[in-house]
Structure 1
Amino acid sequence: MKIPINILFILLGTMVFLASSGNSFGQDKDLFQKKTFQFSNGDSLLYRILFPKDYEKGKEFPLVLFLHGAGERGNDNEKQLIHGASLFLEEENREKFPAIVVFPQCPEDQYWIDISIRSELRGKGDPDFDQTKNAPSEELTMVNKLVEHLVKNEKVNKKRLYLMGLSMGGFGTFETLGRWPKKYAAAVAICGGGNLSLTKKYAKNTAVWIAHGAKDDIVPIELSEKIYNQLKDQGAEVMFTVYPDANHNSWDPTFENPALLPWLFSHKK
């Protein structure tokens, strides 16, 4: 079959664009250095870390911890960058908001929180997640130790620690705030939910921006609404943004929101 010359040019142009953009993004992702945090008991945590351009100049920088979703779990130290990494790699954002950005990777078949999420999402358990363990999960504990290590050993401004997470990472965001309530100046929780009994611990300590898609058929929007209403009643600095046309991918309009990073980086302890 002979392909019309105009269609051929379009196809070739598309292939070149995809190849070049893929290589470009691949190079950008390499700016996130691959690291492994080793623990004394033999456990380890994979993570990627992005340093500001002028990191060596001696000043302290904000630190952003990003918790990925269930689909990005594994042991390749790559998948956790699928969602969110490009936001911090954009040249304009690197110039305006220089920061140390950390993406740990949760192992396959593990979760940031120690509950059977699926049962809760399907309405078969406690929708308020009050049955979570008294202690954080092993994975979240490891992440906290990593943050402590970075704060101690890197040029981190302790008053400007930030937290972001989506889906499973949204649950992990609320759980982290509840377990270490005085650590983070601001947090963004996307399409998540969590233990309502923990909100009182961080309501007065951390500014929270909650985002959810109105058409989400994976994580019910009611879970974000419950956290928001509880935090609002407790006098927290909290915002709730609902994207009316978004399904579970509400992180896409969240990352495209021009107010996101200015809001996040404007907070400090």
Structure 2
Amino acid sequence: MAVAFAAVVGMCGAGLAQAEQIKARSNASLETDLNYLMYTPDDYASSSNSYPLVVWLHGGDQGGTDIEKVKSSGLPKLIEGGKTFPFLVFSPQNPSEELLFPIEKVEVALNEVMSKYRVDRTRVYVMGFSRGGFGTWAMAEQFPEKFAAVVPIAGGGNRHYLSRTNEKTAFWVFHGTNDEVIPLSDSIVLYERLVGLKRNARLSVLEGVDHSSVEWAALNDSELWDWLLKQRLQATPQ
């Protein structure tokens, strides 16, 4: 057995001596083929002011290529119903009906939006529900310098990367106790990690609320909007 093993190692060594790896660089660009909805406040056109911006990431059943689906829930539905907000709302559509949000594409599209509209870059917020809640956590981890506040609703994610989040960012996490789709424990684990990192974080556990109801329970909390608009980064992100 030892002799056979030594022979195999010798063969591998001989093969490795002849192997070659070349250095290369990809020139492929990331396509920003995302559909999105854009809301501007009533006084935007008549003003020269900069406005806060909310990035809204929808739930799992609104992905695909039909942008009208995004209006069926969340902030876009509230806006379609006539509700007005004192901030811009950027609502990208997940091009996949099955996969998580492609957050790199969302970030590229967000940069484009921020270059087109008058955005107060110290007051950019990301919030999302369910699959969009997962995207919200991921955006906070991957692009920490962008967001003054992060609001995941019934989402989840990787707690190990929360150490990458911005120390100046505020978090408000929502989850229902009766959620049978995304366990409440997913949010609790992430929240507790934020607390351990001494982040500015709060958690609302909504008693008796299931997955389908927690989105509206959170968005109809008037305190959320008052809190959100108070959040501001100390310095303008680059």
Q: TM-score range by the shorter chain?
A: 0.7 to 0.9
Q: Note the residue ranges of structure 1 that are not aligned, 5 or more in a row.
A: 1-38, 114-138
Q: Shift of residue 41 of structure 1?
A: 6.1
Report the equivalent of 1:54.
43
Q: Shift of residue 79 of structure 1?
A: 1.2
Query: CA 1:206 to 1:89, structure 2 compared with 1: closer, same or farther past 3 Å?
Result: farther
Report the equivalent of 2:91.
103
Query: CA 1:210 to 1:59, structure 2 compared with 1: closer, same or farther past 3 Å?
Result: same
Q: Distance in 2 between matches of 1:68 and 1:147?
A: 15
Q: Does 1:201 align with 2:164?
A: yes
TM-score (norm 2): 0.80
Conserved? CA contact 1:87–1:255, under 8 Å = no
- Paired residue secondary structure (2:34): strand
Give 1:113-152 correspondences, 5 Å limit. 139-152=102-115
Conserved? CA contact 2:123–2:231, under 8 Å = yes
Q: Note the residue ranges of structure 2 that are not aligned, 5 or more in a row.
A: 1-27, 234-238
Give 1:68-87 correspondences, 5 Å limit. 68-84=58-74, 85-87=76-78
Q: Distance in 2 between matches of 1:213 and 1:199?
A: 22
Q: Does 1:254 align with 2:211?
A: no
TM-score (norm 1): 0.71
Report the equivalent of 1:31.
none
Report the equivalent of 2:3.
none
Identity of aligned residues (%): 30
Opposite residue 191 of structure 2, the aligned amino acid is Y
Q: Indicate the structure (1 or 2) with the bigger Cα radius of gyration.
A: 2
Conserved? CA contact 1:50–1:102, under 8 Å = yes
Conserved? CA contact 1:203–1:235, under 8 Å = no
- Paired residue secondary structure (2:73): coil
Conserved? CA contact 1:63–1:162, under 8 Å = yes
Conserved? CA contact 1:189–1:210, under 8 Å = yes
Which of residues 54, 63, 76 in structure 2 aligns to 1:64?
54
Opposite residue 59 of structure 1, the aligned amino acid is N
- Paired residue secondary structure (2:222): coil
Report the equivalent of 2:19.
none
Q: Shift of residue 205 of structure 1?
A: 2.9
Conserved? CA contact 1:67–1:173, under 8 Å = yes
Which portions of structure 1, spanning 4 or more consecutive aligned residues, are displaced by more than 6 angstroms? Answer: none
Alignment deviations for residues 205-239 of structure 1 (CA, whole Å, 9 cap, x no partner): 31011000101000011000000000011111111
Q: Distance in 1 between matches of 2:107 and 2:30?
A: 16
Q: Does 1:227 align with 2:190?
A: yes
**What's the RMSD between the two structures over aligned residues?**
1.9
Query: CA 1:266 to 1:69, structure 2 compared with 1: closer, same or farther past 3 Å?
Result: same
Report the equivalent of 1:45.
34
Q: Distance in 2 between matches of 1:208 and 1:81?
A: 25
Q: Distance in 2 between matches of 1:169 and 1:154?
A: 23
Alignment deviations for residues 57-82 of structure 1 (CA, whole Å, 9 cap, x no partner): 11100111000111111211011222
Q: Distance in 2 between matches of 1:42 and 1:256?
A: 35
Conserved? CA contact 2:58–2:70, under 8 Å = yes
Give 1:13-24 correspondences, 5 Å limit. none
The number of residue pairs the alignment matches comes to 203
Conserved? CA contact 1:203–1:231, under 8 Å = no
Give 1:134-173 correspondences, 5 Å limit. 139-173=102-136
